[in-house]
Amino acid sequence: MLRVLSLSTLFPCPPRGGFGKFVANQMRAVSQLAEAGAEIDLTMINPIGLPPYPLSMREPYRTLATCPATSTLGSLTVHHPRFRLLPLIGGDSNPGRIARAVLPLARRLHAEAPFDLVDAQFFFPDGPAAALIARALGIPCSIKARGSDIHYWSTRPRALAQIRAAAQDSVGMISVSEALKRDMAALGLPEERITVHYTGLDRSLFRITARSEARNRLPELLNLTLPEDAPLVVCPGALIAIKGQRLAIEALRDLPQAQLALAGTGADEAALRALSADLGLADRVHFLGQVSHDALPLLMSAADAVVLPSEREGLANVWVEALACGTPLVIPDIGGAREVIRTATAGRIAARTGPAIAAALRELLSSPAPQDEVAACVSTFSWEENALRLVAFWQGVVGK
Which CATH number is 127's domain given? 3.40.50.2000
| Cα–Cα distance, 113 to 398 (Å, whole number) | 17
pLDDT tens, residue by residue, 346-381: 999 999 999 999 999 999 999 999 999 999 999 999
pLDDT tens, residue by residue, 33-59: 999 999 999 999 999 999 999 999 999
* Predicted pLDDT at 184: 97
Same structural domain, 272 and 331: yes
Q: Does residue 266 come out as left (phi exceeding 0), alpha (psi in the -120 to 50 range) or beta?
A: left
Same structural domain, 231 and 137: no
Same structural domain, 245 and 339: yes
Same structural domain, 238 and 196: no
Has residue 386 been placed in a domain? yes
* Identity of the amino acid at 213: E
Same structural domain, 59 and 144: yes
- Model confidence at 399, pLDDT cuts 50, 70, 90, reads confident
Mean predicted confidence (pLDDT) in 259-288: 97
Counting Cβ atoms within 10 Å, is residue 82 exposed (0-12), middle (13-18) or buried (19+)?
middle
Q: For all residues of the chain together, what is the average pLDDT?
A: 95
Same structural domain, 219 and 193: no
Same structural domain, 290 and 368: yes
For the chain, percent helix, then strand, then coil, each to nearest 5? 45, 15, 40
Q: For strand 329-331 and strand 347-349, is the pairing parallel, antiparallel, or unpaired? A: parallel
- Model confidence at 141, pLDDT cuts 50, 70, 90, reads very high
Has residue 103 been placed in a domain? yes
Give me the long-range contacts of 268-271 (CB less than 8 A, separation at least 24).
268/239, 268/240, 268/241, 269/239, 271/246
Kindly give, in sequence order, each residue whose CB lies less than 8 Å from that of residue 137, ignoring residues fewer than 6 positions away. Answer: 106, 107, 110, 115, 118
| Cα–Cα distance, 117 to 234 (Å, whole number) | 41
* Predicted pLDDT at 90: 86
* Identity of the amino acid at 249: I
Has residue 371 been placed in a domain? yes
Angle at the Cα of 158 from the Cα atoms of 314 and 87, rounded to 5 degrees: 80
Q: For strand 141-145 and strand 172-175, is the pairing parallel, antiparallel, or unpaired? A: parallel
Sign of CA dihedral 167, 50, 26, 107: positive
* Residue span of the structural domain in which 242 resides: 211-378
Is residue 400 over pLDDT 80? no
Same structural domain, 176 and 265: no
Same structural domain, 25 and 80: yes
Has residue 206 been placed in a domain? no
Q: Report the run of H or E that residue 287 belongs to, with start and end.
A: strand 285-289
Q: Among candidates 79, 81, 85, which has minimal Cα distance to 56?
A: 85
pLDDT tens, residue by residue, 82-106: 999 999 888 999 999 999 999 999 9
Has residue 205 been placed in a domain? no
Same structural domain, 265 and 351: yes
Same structural domain, 6 and 29: yes
Same structural domain, 104 and 38: yes
* Predicted pLDDT at 20: 86
Q: Report the run of H or E that residue 174 belongs to, with start and end.
A: strand 172-175
CB 364 within 8 A of CB 347: yes
CB 245 within 8 A of CB 235: yes
Count the domains in the chain: 2
Mean predicted confidence (pLDDT) in 158-176: 97
